[in-house]
Amino acid sequence: MTRDLRARLDAFLRTPITAALDGVRGDPVETALALVQEVAAEVPAYRQLLAEHGVAPDEVRTLAEFARLPLLTRENYLRRYPLAERCRGGSLAGLEMIAMSSGSTGEPTPWPRGLVDELAIAARFEQVFFDNFEADRRSTLAVVCFPLGTWIGGMYTASCCRHLAAKGYRLITVTPGNQKPEIYRVLGALGGQFEQVVLLGYPPFLKDVIDGGAAAGIDWHALRLGLVLAGEVVSEDWKALMVARAGLRRPLFDIASLYGTADAGVLANETPLAAAIRGFLGREPEHARALLGEARLPTLAQYDPHSRYFETHEGTLLFSGDNGVPLVRYHISDQGGIVGYDDMLEFCRVRGYDPIAEVQAQGERGVHALPFVYVFGRSHFAVSFYGANVFPEMVAVGLEQPEVSPHVTGKFVMEVAADGDQGRELRIAVELAEGVTAPAGLEEKVAAVIQASLLRLSSEFGAYTPGERQRPRITLLPARDPGYFPVGVKHRYSR
């Protein structure tokens, strides 16, 4: 076994998650500094990058020196160096799987991993299944509703759930993927045989599953249901709707969001404590603004700094972590920040709120002295829709088609918004050419050509997005509309 796999596997199987999270493990900065030494010694691409920046790895011994290391980005690292050179020993040997991600530009990026990497991510799933769902003592059916295939979500989730079963959790995993008829068939056949059922998937897709369940003969209130979400920020209103429609009994425990990425798997998870604090911020927008700088709510999660070490850079997040492609100070371009555990509790205390008491009113687990990370979303122009990245270039291709191009300028603004029933729809405002009055049927033509472009250019879009949600809602606006196409400012293609 490579990368001391046997020892790490044994440690994962034998160590309770409470001991892993709450035990004394030393300074996470020391873990990050040790990662620098290891990666510089074993990964050719990183060693070369440091040499180009005049950095001697053995001189990186303090947090201040660590903070001066170059940021890793897609441009200066992933695109510059061949995949093998970004792995240990300059080789893919010892790695067993590869996931593909379109990343921030639409260009496919491979992310290899081995069992060691899966164990680190399985710990985040274990935290959720232990704290939120008590799957160590309740028979649990985990229904993987993420798309299956080369994408990161489905296969990685299924692997991690199987690792938990091997560790002794009363967990059985089934993988219908994002096929609603198969999900309903699985639930009809198996749901009643378990003490609880946990659906894992992208939020808008799981809402579609729950909304369509009654017609498929599924009685959600008869199941003890839980939801594990990833890929998108959800509102507190969305959570409340799911609580009502799915009959969730413990709102702080029965919904858990994961902060994950193809680059490094799950980075953090929404704990019951984080969920309570986020609910408080949602009820008190002025407190959210004081803590986060704005009133809108991000995903709020807690993370293990020994597994993923977070920093901030100009309002965006950096992380360092061990993976099939090890990453040191990787700039993921997510807008957000970090808050220490003690700082967060003190923030709540001085405002008269006790989040731990609220958690303990619903359950006996879910409180760990871990730092918090909050994530608003990607700072680039892509939007996430049902977990698929929609890039401006893909929409632009549709607007260039001859049946619509004479009528439009090619400028547009895309956004993902809630429909009247807390569902999600892709909305695109399109600028009409100067002096053009939209002919009858143009909105439908624009929607059709953009949908065709998205399906042609993005396998993720076709695989992740339900067919009935794939056609965007188009709004045609006159040239220089001040709300979407103001004159004299840099145009942004998403909001």
Q: How many domains does the chain have?
A: 2
Q: Is the model's pLDDT at 483 over the cut of 80? A: yes
Query: Both tokens of residue 266?
Result: 């799950």
- The enclosing H or E element of 229 equals strand 225-230
pLDDT in tens, 449-469: 999 989 987 888 998 999 999
Highest mean pLDDT pick, 7-16, 231-240, 351-360: 351-360
61, 248, 386 from 234: Cα distances, Å = 40, 16, 12
Q: Which carries the bigger pLDDT value, residue 257 or residue 487?
A: 257
**Residue 475 near residue 440 (C-beta atoms within 8 A):** no
**pLDDT band for position 159 (cuts 50, 70, 90):** very high
Neighbours of 91 (CB within 10 A): 11
Q: If you write DSSP's letter for every residue of 82-97 in order, what string do you get? A: -TGGGSGGGS-TT--E
Asked if 369 and 458 sit in the same domain, the reply is no
Share the mean pLDDT of the chain.
91
Query: Both tokens of residue 170?
Result: 């009363």
Q: Is the model's pLDDT at 193 over the cut of 90? A: yes
pLDDT in tens, 266-295: 999 999 999 999 999 999 989 999 999 887
Domain with 133, as residue range(s), is 112-375
92, 259, 274, 422 from 339: Cα distances, Å = 36, 15, 11, 30
% the chain with pLDDT above 90: 68
**pLDDT band for position 263 (cuts 50, 70, 90):** confident
pLDDT recorded at residue 6: 84
Residues 6+ apart with CB under 8 A from 191: 141, 197, 218, 223
DSSP assigned state of 433 = P
pLDDT recorded at residue 20: 87
DSSP assigned state of 405 = G
Question: Has residue 105 been placed in a domain?
Answer: no
Residues 6+ apart with CB under 8 A from 325: 83, 86, 87, 111, 112, 263
pTM: 0.85
pLDDT in tens, 211-249: 889 889 999 999 999 999 998 788 888 898 899 999 999
- CA R_g for the chain: 23
Asked if 370 and 389 sit in the same domain, the reply is no
Q: How far apart are CA 256 and CA 474, in angstroms?
A: 33
**pLDDT band for position 174 (cuts 50, 70, 90):** very high
pLDDT recorded at residue 1: 40
pLDDT in tens, 61-102: 999 999 999 999 989 999 999 999 999 999 999 899 998 876
Asked if 430 and 392 sit in the same domain, the reply is yes
Q: How far apart are CA 207 and CA 212, in angstroms?
A: 8
Q: How far apart are CA 326 and CA 72, in angstroms?
A: 11
Q: How far apart are CA 396 and CA 381, in angstroms?
A: 13
Asked if 260 and 217 sit in the same domain, the reply is yes
Question: Has residue 38 been placed in a domain?
Answer: no
Question: Has residue 33 been placed in a domain?
Answer: no
Asked if 133 and 270 sit in the same domain, the reply is yes
**pLDDT band for position 104 (cuts 50, 70, 90):** very low
Q: Which carries the bigger pLDDT value, residue 422 or residue 395?
A: 395
231, 233, 424, 461 from 418: Cα distances, Å = 16, 12, 5, 18
pLDDT recorded at residue 140: 98
Vertex 28, ends 273 and 99: CA angle to 5°?
Answer: 75
Q: Region 49-54: what's the mean pLDDT?
A: 96
Asked if 367 and 348 sit in the same domain, the reply is yes
Asked if 399 and 363 sit in the same domain, the reply is no
Task: Please give the distance of CA 54 from its chain centroid, rounded to a whole number.
Answer: 34
Q: Is the model's pLDDT at 148 over the cut of 60? A: yes
Q: Region 114-127: what's the mean pLDDT?
A: 93
Neighbours of 237 (CB within 10 A): 11
CATH number for 457: 3.30.300.30
Largest CA distance in the chain: 71
pLDDT recorded at residue 4: 78
**Residue 302 near residue 274 (C-beta atoms within 8 A):** yes
CATH number for 232: 3.40.50.12780
Region of 359 on the Ramachandran plot (φ > 0 left; ψ -120 to 50 alpha; else beta): alpha
Of the residues 375, 394, 415, the one at which a domain ends: 375
Q: How far apart are CA 164 and CA 169, in angstroms?
A: 6
> Can you tell me whether residue 460 is helix, strand or coil?
helix
Asked if 370 and 226 sit in the same domain, the reply is yes
